[in-house]
C-alpha cells in the first residue's frame, strides 16, 4: 500500500482549486470534530478576506466545488483514480453537513505544495 506522500508525488493537481483547497485545510485542521458546512465556508471567506485575497462572485459555489473535488464522500470525487488523494470527508448530523479534514493526507498535501516533503 502506498503512503500519502507517495500518492501525492503522482498527483496531478487541479490548479484552479489549489488555493481554495489550502484555505479549507487550514480552516478545518484545528477542528477534530469538523465544522458545519456554513461555518467552514464563512471561516474560509474570513481567512481569505483578512489576507486581501481575491474572492470570486460565486464564492460559496467555488468553495463547495473545491471541497467536493477532494472529498471522499462526495459523488463528484473520482474514487477510482488512484492519483487523486481524498483530503476531506463529510458527515451529516440531521440535515446539517459537517466538513472534516483527513489530517494525515491534508498535512502531506500541504508539505508537498510548500516543497517540504
Closest CA to 23 of 63, 65, 73, 79: 63
Extract the C-alpha cell encoding 17. Answer: 482549486
Domain ranges across the chain: 4-113
70: left (phi > 0), else alpha (psi -120 to 50), else beta? alpha
Q: Average pLDDT of the chain? A: 83
Closest CA to 41 of 17, 57, 20, 69: 20
pLDDT at site 100:
96
The owner of cell 451529516 is 92
Q: Can you list the alpha helix ranges (DSSP code H) found in 15-102?
A: 18-28, 37-50, 59-69
62, pLDDT greater than 60: yes
Mind listing the pLDDT tens digit for each residue in 7-40?
555 445 445 667 899 999 999 999 999 999 999 9
Amino acid at each position: 500500500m502506498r503512503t500519502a506522500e507517495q500518492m501525492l508525488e503522482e498527483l496531478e493537481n487541479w490548479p484552479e482549486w489549489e488555493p481554495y483547497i489550502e484555505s479549507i485545510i487550514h480552516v478545518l485542521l484545528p477542528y477534530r470534530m469538523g465544522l458545519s458546512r456554513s461555518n467552514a465556508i464563512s471561516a474560509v471567506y474570513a481567512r481569505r478576506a483578512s489576507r486581501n485575497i481575491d474572492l470570486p462572485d460565486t464564492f460559496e459555489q467555488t468553495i463547495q466545488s473545491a471541497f467536493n473535488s477532494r472529498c471522499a464522500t462526495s459523488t463528484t470525487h473520482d474514487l477510482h483514480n488512484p492519483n487523486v488523494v481524498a483530503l476531506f470527508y463529510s458527515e451529516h448530523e440531521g440535515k446539517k453537513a459537517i466538513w472534516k479534514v483527513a489530517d494525515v493526507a491534508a498535512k502531506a498535501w500541504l508539505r508537498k505544495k510548500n516543497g517540504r516533503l
